[in-house]
Chains A and B, each alone.
Chain A
Amino acid sequence: GAVVSQHPSRVICKSGTSVKIECRSLDFQATTMFWYRQFPKQSLMLMATSNEGSKATYEQGVEKDKFLINHASLTLSTLTVTSAHPEDSSFYICSVDALSEGTRTQYFGPGTRLTVL
């Protein structure tokens, strides 16, 4: 399957600052990447679909001006949490939609744990 990396793995920031999270597809050219948020002991909630070369598609209830997504190349998508607040503290995971052995599925990055003080 596709190899997906994320950076940073963990970040602690002060309230009001912005944080950028990178998601890289290391061995697959990803036209589409997904960004999820996962609160403790909860499921993965899709935030947005990142499309290379075009605007991201956000899920209902996700503020596009707060969670900026840029997918400038086939191997990199970034999520910027702007003016972060404590309630934004969460585990952010990206995934790559990839074709493997003739079938499509999603492969996840290792996640980024964001803590906003």
Chain B
Amino acid sequence: GENVEQHPSTLSVQEGDSAVIKCTYSDSASNYFPWYKQELGKRPQLIIDIRSNVGEKKDQRIAVTLNKTAKHFSLHITETQPEDSAVYFCAASEETGANNLFFGTGTRLTVIP
């Protein structure tokens, strides 16, 4: 089955700096890669996703890149703000039928004001 690894497990940045979280996956059949943000005690919220037919996607301060050859994808947050502090999870799935997501281990991002 799919194995998703995520690094780093914790990340602290100064407000305004950029944050980068990296994930690797093992199953070459995976073709859908969402990122979720989870605040303490709350549900994961989808913040951005990418499919294997593109290499990069951007939504305001958030961008995701995908390298299918190397089987890794990354989340980039620019101009970080304190409200970006949360746990971020990457995930991967083979988008056939229902989306069975395999999650990374999570990254706790702390943005220091």
Contact = CB atoms under 8 A, between A and B. Distances in A.
Interface of A: 1, 4, 31-32, 34, 42-46, 49, 91, 93, 97, 103-111, 113
Interface residues of B, number: 23
Contact of A49 (B36, B100, B103): B100
B106 A43 contact: yes
Nearest to A30: B98
Contact of A110 (B43, B95, B98): B43
A97 B104 CA distance: 19
A106 B42 contact: no
A39 to B, nearest CB: 11
Contact of B103 (A1, A4, A31, A44): A44
A46 B43 contact: no
Given A42-B105, A43-B106, A111 B43 contact: yes
Contacts of B106: 42-43
Interface of B: 32, 34, 36, 41-46, 49, 51, 89, 95, 97-106
A interface SS class: strand
Contact of B46 (A31, A32, A107): A107
A9 B25 CA distance: 33
B43 A108 contact: yes
A68 to B, nearest CB: 20
A34 B45 CA distance: 15
A93 to B, nearest CB: 6
Contacts of A113: 41
A82 B88 CA distance: 31
Nearest to A108: B43
